A and B are shown apart, each in its own frame.
Chain A
Amino acid sequence: MEPTDTSKPDYFHRVVDCQWACPAHTDVPEYIRLIAQGEFTEAYMVNRESNVFPGILGRVCDRPCEPACRRGRIEEKPVAICRLKRVASDNRDDITALLPKAPREKNGKRIACIGAGPASLTVANDLLPLGYEVTIFEQYGVPGGLMRTNIPAFRLPANVLDEEIGYIVDMGADLKLNTPIKSMKRLLDAQEFDAVFVGSGAPKGKELDLPGRRDTDRIHIGITWLESVAFGHVESVGERVLIIGVGNTAMDCCRSSLRLGAKDVKVMARKPRQFFKASEWELEDAEAEKVDIVINHAPKSFVVEGGRLMGMMFEKLEYDIENGDIKATRSLGDVFFPCDDVILAIGQENAFPWIEKGLGIELDKWNVPKVNATTFQSTRPEVFFGGDAAFGPKNIIWSVEHGHQAAISIHKFCHDEAIEQRMPRGVSLSSRKMGMHELAYKNEYNGVERRLVPHVGLVERFKKINIEVELGFTAEEAALEVQRCLNCDVQTVFAAKLCIECDACIDICPVDCLTIAPNGPEADLRARLTAPATNPSQALYVSAALPQTGRVMVKDEDVCVHCGLCAERCPTAAWDMQKSTIRIPFAIDEEVRACPA
């Protein structure tokens, strides 16, 4: 193998699994260390720089970081990254003085954002400090988009939303509530804006057109129903409720039903549990509330008698599953489930009935706009898309990242710069060595198990629909959980020319990730290491040829616990522990020419 080029920012970035997996690349180890030091405000601001809504995301993020967490490969459970984010948010001081400020003198550019969801709010957050005038059009009387209408208040309280959205609006965004955009043509023709950002989400719930669907008004579309619950238009539901689908919307629907009077709630799944779309923790929370999850039942028809919904007919299925794939399906006959209400939670789509043809905004075969995956520009240069509106439903943290990228594009576009030429990511390193063998971070591995977040009791939580179920970590539990973080951003940096091949690092490494061996092709090298490197998604570090024997130092990054013992035991400081900071560029970092007058 060629020697690894660690000057490329992606190498060390990938070692920080959580940050690499996060769409917005939040500097997780840094904020966890700040929490450990009691610097909650600073931890919140580190979060806010990349993910904009730490309080919101600390409750309802889809947490792609956690399945990626290295701790999950060493013992079973990853660090509770998401819940630690909430710790930073819950314990922060007033941060208003630390927020970016919009300059009094504007740059003369006006931006329209359609929909006041996380994507549009991120665009406003990034562009307001640069002197842009940002107008946000929102169809409802409150901002927040899906975060407000589709996530129940018992998971995400309104005051958390109000506060974090307020930070952005108070920077000087012109938030026009109750102002749906009904015609893109009219908006563009008026030529009031230099660029338009569409962040209107994926508001169309999927239908299930089975016999009986139109014969009753007790069948609801999940996201529309949640919206009605959020706005108080729906205040009750029947005693027996069937939820169709087993994604995260289904989990919100079943738990909301329990709070609106349902006694018997069943989530009907077509396939076995391993195929569920819902996050594991959302399933656990629903099951803790005694929601029945019924597998292997495919909906067949709605049974309506005399205009009254009696229940649903399902086909019971059996599967042959091999290596996670369904090889064969067999029917075991029909089963009837009685119910008073059915809620359909089988997916959602983006829809743009208000974008007219002939505007130069090209649509693809699914009738959604063609959007560049890097710049988020549509085929009409001044129109950009982001969040669920761009590529269909994802989650909040992706919307935020889309917002950041669209903001960079809009900033460059408004200054006549090529929007494809974007600032690359960077990496900076600084040694954590203090004296001979001491390191400036807590490098001792702490074997403590993942802490559980306390919940409101099972009786108490159903008294009102907006009682937040999760209480957040106590100070004591948070203090333990932070010690589970392995500090993956403190990198093992090797200088081949200093190595005397004494084997000290190899002997001391608790997880056998180091080897000195003759070089070879990657597959061969992976098999020859102290512990074979069987996880191909994790990189091998290969040094230059070592001075004494010409062999190479190989490190399998997979399960390194970043304890720093290799550096502590190295007599020549060939190994050093250096903190990497990945520089993620935002709109404010892009150099642009002065605004054309």
Chain B
Amino acid sequence: MSYINKPKVAHPSLPTNSLGLTRRQYEGSMSTLCAGCGHDSVTAAIVEACWGLSLQPEQLVKLSGIGCSSKTTAYFVGGSHGFNSVHGRMPSIASGANAANRGLTYVGISGDGDSLSIGIGQLVHAIRRNVNMLYLIENNGVYGLTKGQFSASADVGTKAKRGETNSSPPIDPVLLALTLGATFVARSFSGDKAQLVPLIQAGMRHNGFALIDVLSPCVTFNDHEGSTKSYGFTREHYHAAVEADFVPRAEEIAVNYPEGEAIPVSLHDGSRVVLRKLDPSYDPKDRTAAYHYIENKLKQNEYVTGLIHIDEADNTEFHNLNRTAKTPLNSIPFEKLSPGSATLHKLMTRYR
């Protein structure tokens, strides 16, 4: 925790986006997380991503549950909407909000505890329903807020700060999401903003549920020798399979990629992601192959990162399936939204 707030003073040559805002104007309040927490770097990546997308702050909805990770939403885009739900119940709130107003950009921030233990049922159904949101898991393998017990994502053989070894097998959120048919699955690392920022941008623009599992080391309880989620271990076992470059709508793809290596994928809103395969044998569009690739690499203690799977052709997005109102509920006239007791009575008689 810091004793002063981050000064409002900024670099004199700080660039502005198409809204005339600087990156600093996308910040939130001062973080009270531990100094060096990976989550703060994720926050910085989200700030950078939102600035780069020229997102209207009031068009963003931030949602979270409980845990160190879930505090993150307070630290970015101060001028946006937010809801901090009960533990593991963020997906319900996100689904409801999303159903009521499909015009906003939804970002849910969760952790390995909030998503893979208490909230796993909620996560699973959010993926199944294909809720149109970015769901970002800040994954550090421990319960930081309760002083460092192993979480459901702790790897077999990893050591706790006080020496115990974990023997329970982990739940990998990326494999989970692939199994459930998620159409945007990515993994990244808090210490690699060059990779993470375009993934966040693409995830926010993806039409449907986008999951990013971010390895975000717990500097206080899980950054020691023997931990498989420390800064050092992650860097050593970090295997980028696909790099993704995000190209905003109305911008030309400026870089010339060598043929066969780059796959441009158009997103719903006209922006594009250019995927660059770092491993030629990898195909991010083939879900089954992606699953096996990751599973194999995990057995070799390698974390595959990048945009692991994307399927923009899929049309099972939440609003499509449920035929929700295109107009946000708050813009529908009250009479139409609430047709009155006479209409209700008429409706009820049909079931008698």
Chain A residues within 8 Å of B, Cβ to Cβ: 73-75, 437-439, 443-445, 447, 500-504, 506-508, 510-513, 531-532, 534, 548-549, 559, 561, 563, 565, 568-572
Contacts and interface: CB of A to CB of B under 8 A. Distances in A.
Given A74-B9, A548-B231, A504 B36 contact: yes
B3 A438 contact: yes
Given A500-B223, A503-B190, A507-B43, A563 B37 contact: no
B12 A571 contact: no
A503 B41 contact: yes
B38 A443 contact: no
Bin chain B's interface residue count: 20 to 34
Contacts of A503: 40-41, 44, 190-191, 193
5 contacts: A503-B191, A568-B35, A569-B35, A569-B36, A571-B35
Given A503-B44, A504-B41, A563-B4, A572 B36 contact: yes
Given A501-B191, A502-B231, A508 B6 contact: yes
Contact of A445 (B7, B24, B219): B7
Contacts of A559: 11-12
For A74, A513, A561, A569, the residue with the greatest tally of chain B CB atoms inside 10 Å of its CB is A569
Contact of B13 (A508, A534, A572): A534
B232 interface: yes
A502 B12 contact: no
Nearest to B15: A531
Given A500-B231, A570-B36, A510 B2 contact: no
B10 interface: yes
A565 B36 contact: no
Contacts, number: 104
Interface of B: 1-14, 24, 34-38, 40-41, 43-44, 190-191, 193, 217, 219-220, 223, 231-232, 235
B9 A502 contact: no
A79 to B, nearest CB: 14
Contact of A565 (B2, B13, B41, B44): B2
B175 to A, nearest CB: 27
Contact of A507 (B1, B40, B219): B40
A503 B216 CA distance: 12
Nearest to B220: A571
B contact patch SS = loop
Nearest to A75: B9
B9 A510 contact: yes
Contacts of B7: 444-445, 447, 510, 561, 563
A contact patch SS = loop
Closest 3 CB pairs of A and B: A571-B36, A445-B7, A507-B44
Given A501-B191, A502-B36, 10 more contacts: A437-B1, A437-B35, A502-B41, A504-B37, A507-B44, A510-B8, A510-B9, A511-B9, A568-B4, A571-B36
Contacts of A513: 11
For B7, B13, B34, B37, the residue with the greatest tally of chain A CB atoms inside 10 Å of its CB is B7
B11 A504 contact: no
A444 B232 contact: no
Contacts of A439: 3
Nearest to B223: A500
B235 A502 contact: no
A503 to B, nearest CB: 5
Contacts of A501: 191, 231, 235
Contacts of B43: 507
A502 B217 contact: yes
B40 A504 contact: yes
Contact of A571 (B44, B219, B232): B219
A557 to B, nearest CB: 13
A438 B2 CA distance: 8
Contacts of A502: 36-38, 41, 190-191, 217, 219, 231
A502 B13 CA distance: 25
For B4, B5, B13, the residue with the greatest tally of chain A CB atoms inside 10 Å of its CB is B4
For A439, A504, A548, A571, the residue with the greatest tally of chain B CB atoms inside 10 Å of its CB is A504
A196 to B, nearest CB: 51
A550 to B, nearest CB: 11
B4 A444 contact: yes
Contacts of A570: 35-36
Contact of B10 (A500, A510, A548, A571): A510
B9 A568 contact: no
Nearest to A500: B231
B38 A74 contact: no
A3 B319 CA distance: 56
A569 B2 contact: yes
A447 B9 contact: yes
Nearest to A504: B36
A288 to B, nearest CB: 30
A507 B190 CA distance: 11
B24 to A, nearest CB: 8
B231 A504 contact: no
Contacts of A443: 4
